[in-house]
Homo-oligomer: A and B are copies of this chain.
Amino acid sequence: MNGAELLIQAAVDADIEYCFANPGTTEMPLVAAMEGNKQFRPVLSLFEGVCTGAADGYGRVAGRPAMTLTHLGPGFANGMANLHNARRANSPIVNVVGDHASWHVNFDPPLASDIEGMARTVSKFVRTSRTADAIGNDFIDAVNAAWQPSGAIATLILPMDLQAKAVQQQPAQSVIRPPHRQFQSHRIEAVARMIKDGKRLVFIVGDNGLTETGLKAAGRLSQLDGVKLYAETFPRLSYRGGGLPDLDRLPYFPEKAIEVLNQYDVVVCAGVVEPISYFGYEGIPSRLAEASRLVTLAEVGDDVEKTLEALADSVSAPAFQQLTGPLPLPANEQALSPASVGQILSASLPDDCIVSVEGGTCGYPFFTASANAKKHRVMTNTGGAIGQGIPAGFGAALAEPGNTVICLQSDGSAQYTIQALWSIARSQLPVVILIAANHRYGILQNELRRYGIPELGPQSQALTELDNPKIDWLQLSQSYGVAAERVETNANLAVALERAIAAKEPRLIEMCL
C-alpha cells in the first residue's frame, strides 16, 4: 500500500463517496489508487471552479463532505472562488491538492507556488503532509476539521513522492461523526422573557433553522403579537412551499433592511451571524442593527430548529398552521418577465425538488411567488462569488440521484463556470437549467445608478452590457451535450419546463428577457 492508496482507503472509510477532480501530473498516484476502490467515485470537470462548486452543493444537500482533487497552486486557485462561497455556506469540503515531490519543490520549478498561502485564504484547516505514513491521520484530521455542525473547508496538500511511497502505518485515528449540535436553554429563556414582557422582536433565521421542523416552529412564533421572523438574505439551504410558513428573506439593500429591523425593539439571531450590509454605501451604517438591540438565540452550528421549537413551546405559541393560498399564474401569451418566470417556475416545481438560485433578476421574483409551491429546497449564493449556481446544482443532483434539480440562473454569472454543463451532460442526471438571458450585468447597472450615474456612458456600457455579441445559449448548451430550447412567452416556458422536468435528464432553457 502506498500513501495515495492509504488516503483513498481513509476516504472510503470516512464515507466520502465523491471526489470532484481535475488532476494533473502530481496527482497521478492518487488517480491510480482510485482504481482499486469501486465505492469511491471520481467526477471529472473541465475547470476546477466546477469541482468546488459541486462539492459545496453536495455538502449542503448530503450533509457530509465531498472531496476535491486539484493540481498544484494554479489548479487550486481556479477553485477558490467557489470555495469562498462554500466557506460562507459552512459547507464541509475536504480539498486534496497534489504538490511537487518534496525533494523537488524547493528548486522552484515552473509550476511551484505558495499553495498553503492560497489555501489559507479560504480554508479553516491547511496542512502539507510531511511523511507518507502521516497521510492517513492527516486526512482524517482534515475530515474532522471539515465535518462539524457548522461545516468548514479543509485543505490537505500532498507531495507527489509521498503519494507514491510505501506506507507501514494505518491511521490511528478515525473520523468522528459531527458532534451533536448545541441547544442553549438560558438563551431560550432570555428570549422567551422578552416576548412575555411584550417587547417587539424580529428574528433572522438561518442554518438548520430553515428546515421543515425549524420553519414550523418559526410559523408558530410568527403568530405572536409583535413577533416577526425573516430568513437570512442568502440561505445555504432553505425549505419552502408544501404548506410551510412563508418567511421573507431580509432585504438585500441595507437601507431597506435597516428600515425593517428598526420597527422592532430586539433583533434575534437564530443560526446567523450579526446582520451586516452586503456592501458599504456612504452614509449607511455597516451594522443593520445597533449592537445594543442584538440578541443571539442560537449560533451557526447550534441546533437551531430544536431551539426555535423549544422557544415556541415555552411561550405557548399557537399550533402550526399549514399555509394555503393560490399559486398566481401570468397571462399565457405575454412575453416573459422576471415576475412571470418566478410564477411559472413555482407552479411547475415537482414535489421535494431542489432549486439552485443564482442572480437577482429572477431570484427575488421566484422567492416572492413560491410560498405556495410544492415542497422544495432552495440553495442560494452565500458568498457572492459568481459562477456558483450550476456547479452547486450539479453537486446537489449527485447527493440525491434521480431527484430533480432546477438551476435558476442569471446569464452573466453562469459564464464563470459554464464548463459545468459538460459534467452535467456526462452524468445524465435530471438537472434543468433556466438561463435568465437579459444579456447584461443588471446588478452593476443598478449599482452604477446607486453610485450616482443615472445615464451610462459608452465605457460603463461596454463594461456592463453583454449584447455584443449575444451569446447563443442553445448552441452553447448543445456543444456541451445538454439539449436546449429557447422560449420567449409565458406559455412556451410552462410547456418547455414541463417537458424538461419530465425528461429526467439534463436540459437547458434559454429564457429571453
User: A-side interface residues toward B, CB under 8 Å?
Assistant: 21, 23-26, 28-29, 31-32, 34-35, 42, 44, 46-47, 49, 72-75, 77-78, 80-81, 84-85, 88, 100-101, 103-105, 107-111, 113-114, 117-118, 120-122, 160-161, 164, 234, 273-274, 276-282, 286-287, 382-385, 387, 412, 415-416, 418-419, 422, 425-426, 443-444, 447-448, 451, 453, 457-460, 462-464, 466, 468-476, 478-481
Q: A114-B120, A479-B476 are in contact. Are A384 and B74 (CB under 8 A)?
A: yes
CA distance A419 to B418 in the complex (A): 9
Contact A444 B23 (CB under 8 A): yes
Picked from B24, B81, B164, B472, the residue with its CB within 8 Å of the CB of A282 is: B164
- Stoichiometry, as copies per complex, reads 2
Contact B469 A425 (CB under 8 A): yes
Interface centre among A29, A287, A444 (most CB of B within 10 A): A444
CA distance A444 to B31 in the complex (A): 10
Closest 7 CB pairs of A and B: A104-B280, A469-B481, A74-B385, A101-B280, A476-B479, A475-B479, A77-B80
Contact A120 B122 (CB under 8 A): no
CA distance A473 to B101 in the complex (A): 36
Picked from B104, B416, B419, B422, the residue with its CB within 8 Å of the CB of A46 is: B416
Whole-angstrom distance between the Cβ of A74 and the nearest chain B Cβ: 3
Chain B residues positioned under 8 Å from A84 (CB to CB):
73-74, 77, 113
Q: A383-B111, A472-B479, A479-B473 are in contact. Are A286 and B422 (CB under 8 A)?
A: no
Whole-angstrom distance between the Cβ of A429 and the nearest chain B Cβ: 14
Q: A103-B286, A451-B29 are in contact. Are A383 and B74 (CB under 8 A)?
A: yes
26 A-B residue pairings within 8 Å (CB atoms) = A23-B463, A28-B451, A29-B451, A34-B463, A46-B416, A47-B415, A74-B81, A74-B383, A75-B385, A80-B118, A101-B282, A107-B276, A109-B278, A109-B279, A111-B279, A113-B121, A114-B120, A117-B117, A160-B280, A161-B280, A422-B471, A470-B481, A471-B479, A472-B481, A473-B479, A475-B475
